[in-house]
């Protein structure tokens, strides 16, 4: 299959999104709903107010970071389907570390910053180790990383769920959850008057995207990662240990997922609950990365699209009788069209709108 150029990938992303939205509106009309009103609700739910924008950016932050975690592995030729599990492990470890360490750290702003830094570091390490596990199994046991990472998702969800309901549960809480983070742990609320969004979180997201993009494109380590994934024989010939590089790739991917889990509990949740109910950010990240052609910079607009759709989904569910599952169908169509780039290149070639692939 011919590889798409950068411009083709951008065009494919725009075309797939537009086509999915149009088909979604047609389905809404066939089902008896007003498609114009539905389209207006989608826009209003994603960007129609300060609250909607904050909700969109909150989801975008998580989608972008988990999308980058997936993209790192995919670009290196390793399929990390376990970002959800690494996200869960990282977030839970962050909460446990902060709650335990709070007994030894003085209160106040400085103590809160210390707890957040140490807790986030614990989440990054936990996510990295959980990502390294399938990397080791692939490198030295020739295990299929798709199967192992999928299974590790279920293990993380089940085991963390048991820990939350048992040893680490808050006996004073009416719901199943851990103890809350201390009051001095939290990111500052500026610009947006939203308790679950901080500009600091947005800055962390942008910083991770820039650093990972630079690492992949501008460093020897990034070059070796991609080479080891796609041409392990050539990597070995040039002196690179392909097996260790696979482990390093999965570890880096898991570290980013763990950081996302840490940001989720510090910026949004403030405790940890049954992981089966925290959202499927790690699974949706696969679609985000696919839409971005596994490019860390391309994950930004792709994550914004998915963040907007999730925000619109919440708005539609409350303010409309249109089934929220229709938005899930639109997301599925976007992924379907992105997964068939040759369809759009063929249409472009026949209509004279595009040239031949590289």
The reply to whether 23 falls in a domain is no
- State whether residue 243 is helix, strand or coil: helix
pLDDT at 299: 94
Range 247-282 burial, b when 16+ CB lie within 10 A, else e = bbbbbbbbbbbbbbbbbbbbbbbbbbbebeebbebb
Higher-confidence position of 322 and 352: 322
Higher-confidence position of 332 and 3: 332
Query: Could you tell me the end-to-end alpha-carbon distance of the chain, in angstroms, rounded to an integer?
Result: 10
Host H or E run for residue 335? helix 325-338
* Mean pLDDT computed over every residue of the chain: 88
Q: Name, in order, each residue with C-beta under 8 angstroms of 310's C-beta and a sequence gap of 6 or more.
A: 56, 59, 63
* pLDDT digit string, tens, across residues 168-196: 999 988 889 999 999 999 999 878 888 88
In order, the DSSP letters of 114-172 are HHHHHHHHHHHHHHHHHHHHHHHHHHHH---HHHHHHHHHHHHHHHHHHHHHTTT--TT
For tokens 């001095």, name the residue. 184
**pLDDT surpasses 50 at 358:** no
Compute the residue count for the chain: 358
The reply to whether 157 falls in a domain is yes
* pLDDT digit string, tens, across residues 249-264: 999 999 999 999 999 9
**pLDDT surpasses 50 at 356:** no
The reply to whether 251 falls in a domain is yes
- State whether residue 177 is helix, strand or coil: strand
Q: Report, as an integer, the average pLDDT of 295-301.
A: 92
**pLDDT surpasses 60 at 343:** no
Q: Report, as an integer, the average pLDDT of 31-54.
A: 90
Range 43-70 burial, b when 16+ CB lie within 10 A, else e = ebbbebeeebbbbbbbbbbbbbbbbbbb
The reply to whether 47 falls in a domain is no
The reply to whether 209 falls in a domain is yes
pLDDT at 357: 42
Q: Report, as an integer, the average pLDDT of 5-25.
A: 77
Residue 261 and residue 269: Cα distance in Å, rounded?
A: 10
Q: Name, in order, each residue with C-beta under 8 angstroms of 63's C-beta and a sequence gap of 6 or more.
A: 281, 284, 285, 288, 302, 303, 306, 307, 310
Q: Name, in order, each residue with C-beta under 8 angstroms of 246's C-beta and a sequence gap of 6 or more.
A: 76, 78, 135, 138, 139, 228, 229
| CA 73 distance to own-chain centroid | 13
Residue 65 and residue 67: Cα distance in Å, rounded?
A: 5
* pLDDT digit string, tens, across residues 113-127: 999 999 999 999 999
The reply to whether 202 falls in a domain is yes
pLDDT at 341: 59
Higher-confidence position of 281 and 17: 281
In order, the DSSP letters of 257-324 are HHHHHHHIIIIIISS-B-GGGS--HHHHHHHHHHHTTT-TTTHHHHHHHHHHHHHHHHHHHHH-SS-T
In order, the DSSP letters of 59-84 are HHHHHHHHHHHHHHHHHTT-----HH
Counted domains in the chain: 1
In this prediction, residue 336 has a pLDDT band, given cuts at 50, 70 and 90, of confident
* pLDDT digit string, tens, across residues 204-223: 999 999 999 999 989 989 98
* pLDDT digit string, tens, across residues 140-156: 999 999 999 999 999 99
The reply to whether 85 falls in a domain is yes
Neighbours of 175 (CB within 10 A): 9
Domain that holds residue 248: 75-290
Orientation angle between helical segments 83-101 and 145-165, nearest 10 degrees: 30
Q: Name, in order, each residue with C-beta under 8 angstroms of 211's C-beta and a sequence gap of 6 or more.
A: none
**pLDDT surpasses 60 at 138:** yes
Q: What is the percent of the chain where pLDDT is above 90?
A: 56
**pLDDT surpasses 70 at 265:** yes
The reply to whether 350 falls in a domain is no
Nearest 5°: phi and psi at 3? -85, 140
């Amino acid at each position: 299959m011919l590889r798409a150029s950068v411009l083709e990938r951008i065009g494919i992303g725009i075309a797939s999104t537009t086509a999915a939205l149009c088909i979604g509106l047609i389905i809404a009309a066939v089902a008896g709903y007003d498609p114009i009103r539905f389209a207006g609700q989608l826009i209003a739910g994603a960007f129609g107010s300060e609250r909607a924008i904050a909700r969109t950016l909150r989801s975008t932050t998580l989608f972008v970071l988990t999308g980058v975690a997936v993209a790192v592995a995919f670009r290196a030729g390793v399929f990390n389907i376990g970002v959800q599990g690494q996200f869960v492990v990282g977030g839970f470890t962050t909460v446990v570390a902060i709650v335990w360490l709070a007994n030894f750290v003085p209160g106040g702003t400085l103590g809160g910053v210390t707890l957040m830094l140490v807790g986030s570091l614990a989440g990054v390490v936990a996510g990295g180790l959980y990502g390294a596990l399938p990397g080791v199994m692939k490198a030295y046991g020739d295990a299929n990383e798709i199967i192992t990472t999928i299974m590790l998702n279920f293990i993380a969800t089940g085991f963390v769920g048991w820990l939350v309901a048992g040893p680490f549960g808050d006996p004073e809480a009416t719901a199943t959850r851990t103890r809350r983070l201390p009051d001095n742990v939290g990111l500052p609320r500026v610009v947006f008057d939203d308790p679950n969004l901080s500009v600091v979180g947005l800055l962390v997201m942008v910083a991770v995207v820039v650093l990972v993009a630079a690492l992949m494109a501008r460093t020897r380590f990034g070059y070796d990662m991609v080479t080891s994934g796609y041409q392990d024989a050539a990597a070995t010939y040039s002196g690179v240990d392909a097996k260790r590089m696979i482990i390093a790739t999965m570890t880096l991917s898991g570290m980013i997922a763990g950081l996302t889990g840490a940001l989720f509990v510090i910026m949004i949740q403030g405790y940890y609950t049954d992981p089966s109910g925290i959202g499927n950010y790690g699974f949706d990240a696969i679609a985000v990365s696919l839409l971005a052609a596994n490019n860390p910079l391309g994950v930004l607009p792709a994550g914004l699209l998915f963040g907007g759709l999730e925000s619109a989904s919440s708005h539609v569910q409350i303010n409309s009788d249109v089934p929220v599952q229709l938005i899930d169908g639109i997301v599925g169509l976007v992924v379907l069209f992105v997964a068939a780039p040759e369809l759009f290149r063929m249409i472009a070639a026949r209509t004279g709108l595009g040239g031949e692939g590289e």
